[in-house]
Amino acid sequence: MTHVVATINLKGGVGKTTTTAALAETLSGEFGQRVLLIDLDPQTNLTIMMIGEQRWGELDAAGRTLAALFEDALGDRPGPVDVSTLIQRQVSPLSSVTSVDLLPSSLRLIALQDRVTDITHGHTEVLTRALKPVLADYDYVLIDCPPNLGAMTLNGLRLADAYIIPTIPDVMSTYGIGPVQERIRQFAEEWGTSIVELGVVVTKYRKASAVHRTTVDDLNRNKQISMVFPSLIPEANQIAAAAEFADFGTLRKKYGNDGQFTALRDLAQDFIATTKVRLAWV
C-alpha cells in the first residue's frame, strides 16, 4: 500500500526540505521502505541534496526533470512523456540508503507555474495522471512543496493522501499553520477527496529557548492540530551540513550523534505508525 504525503509550510527556512530528505533516507536506511521523493520546489534544493549539482545540471539540460511533465501538458513538447524515464533511481549519496528514488525539479518550473492554469483539462492533476503508473512501486511518496499555494503545490496536494507541516516553534513560523489547514480543507472539498493532516513536525528546536518550549506547549494544546510529532528535531550544525551532497558513511554520521539521528529515527518510526493508522483506508 502506497502512502503519498506532502510536506508544506508557507514560511520558508523552517527545515521543510531537510526534513523531507532526512525522513526519506531514514525510512529507507533504517526501516527498509521504498520511497519516491518528488521535488516540486523550483529552488531545486531537495534535488541537489540527493543527486548533486552536476548531475542535476545534466538532467535539466537534457529535459529529464519534473518540468517535462508540465511542458508536455502545455503542448510544449512533441509526444508523451513517460515519467519512469524521469525518475532517478537510488539517489541518496549514502551508500547505506538504497531504496530512495527522485523525480527531480527544475528552475523552469518558475515560468511554467504561471502557465499551468492554461491547461484546459485538470490543471491540478498533471502530476496525478503522470505518476499513476508508478505509485505502486513505493511504500511512501514524499512531496516537497514550495512555500506557497500556487499551481505546483496544488498538483502535489491533488496527488497526496496526507500532509505534514514542518515548523520552527516560534511565532512567525507557526503563524500560517491555521490558514494552510483551512485552504487544504477547502481544496479537498472542491476535489471531492480527503487530504489527512498527519501532524506538525517541530524542527530546529532549542530546548534552552523559552519561546520554543512555550510554542511547543501551545501547539500541543491547539485542538485544530491533529498532533505534534513527539520527536522534536533539534537545531544543529550537523543537520544543516547534511544538505551537502556527500557520502557521510552512515545516517548517524550524517545527521549527528548528539541526539539528532535518534530524533530523526524516532520521527520516522512515528511517521510509519501514524500513516498506518490514519491512512488505512487508502
pLDDT tens digits in sequence order for the chain, 282 residues long:
899 999 999 998 999 999 999 999 999 999 999 999 999 999 999 999 999 999 999 999 999 999 999 999 998 888 789 999 999 999 999 999 999 999 999 999 999 988 988 887 889 999 999 999 999 999 999 999 999 999 999 999 999 999 999 999 999 999 999 999 999 999 999 999 999 999 999 999 999 999 999 999 999 999 999 999 999 999 998 888 888 999 999 999 999 988 899 999 999 999 999 999 999 865
CATH topology of domain 3-278: Rossmann fold (3.40.50)
For 231-256, give one letter per residue: b (16+ CB within 10 A) or e: bbbbbbebbeebeebeebeebbebbb
The pTM (predicted TM-score) of the whole model is 0.96
Query: Comparing C-alpha atoms, which of 240, 236, 242, 203 is closest to residue 94?
Result: 242
CA torsion sign for 143, 273, 134, 47 is positive
Domain ranges of the chain: 3-278
What letter represents residue 271's amino acid? F
Report the DSSP beta bridge partners of residue 5: 142, 162
